[in-house]
């Protein structure tokens, strides 16, 4: 679970968030929808520790994000795909996705692959991912 507690963010005189409180539960899928410039990317950047906030706290699994080392946090806990991402055209979609596993311990890689293939609803998608090139997205 990720909790944003009383987050304040301002750019100059423009207030982006004032006393923002959000909870993201594990295992759920969320969508951020809003007008251009309303703070969607800023929110994601704050969660990814790419952007600071002025006041408040972000808590992940009971720990403040400010207390977690970036390397530990990103290698083991958070994946982030930028809005303007670059895929390696010479690799399959699956191989591009697996680039995020580089540097993870072998058992973590195996656990991720096992979880990814355990759902029967993703079986046909698995075949396409392993064979398709990014240009076919």
The answer to whether 23 touches 10, Cβ cutoff 8 Å, is no
CATH of domain 2-77: 3.40.50.300
Report the sign of the C-alpha dihedral through residues 35, 37, 43, 44, in that order.
positive
Tokens standing for residue 52:
């600071």
The answer to whether 17 touches 73, Cβ cutoff 8 Å, is no
pLDDT for the residue 72? 64
- The better pLDDT of the pair 28, 72 is held by 28
- The better pLDDT of the pair 53, 124 is held by 53
Predicted confidence band of residue 67 (pLDDT cuts 50, 70, 90):
confident
Provide the β-strand partners of residue 63.
60
- The better pLDDT of the pair 102, 29 is held by 29
CA neighbor of 108 nearest in space, from 63, 72, 75: 75
DSSP for 46-93, please give it: HHTTSS--SEEEEEETTEEGGGS-HHHHHHHT-----SS----TTS-H
Predicted confidence band of residue 66 (pLDDT cuts 50, 70, 90):
confident
pLDDT for the residue 97? 74
Whole-prediction pTM? 0.58
Predicted confidence band of residue 88 (pLDDT cuts 50, 70, 90):
confident
pLDDT for the residue 31? 87
């Amino acid at each position: 679970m990720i909790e944003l507690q009383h987050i304040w963010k301002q750019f100059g005189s423009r207030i982006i968030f004032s006393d923002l409180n959000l909870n993201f539960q594990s295992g759920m899928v969320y969508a951020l929808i809003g007008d251009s410039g309303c703070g969607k990317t800023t929110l994601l950047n704050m969660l990814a520790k790419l952007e600071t906030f002025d006041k408040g706290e972000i808590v992940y699994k009971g720990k403040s994000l400010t207390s977690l080392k970036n390397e530990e946090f990103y290698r083991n806990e958070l994946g982030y795909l930028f809005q303007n991402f670059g895929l390696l055209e010479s690799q399959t979609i699956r191989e591009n996705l697996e680039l995020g596993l580089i540097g993870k311990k072998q058992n973590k890689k195996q656990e991720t692959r096992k979880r990814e293939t355990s759902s029967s609803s993703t079986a046909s998608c698995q075949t396409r991912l392993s064979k398709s090139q990014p240009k076919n997205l």
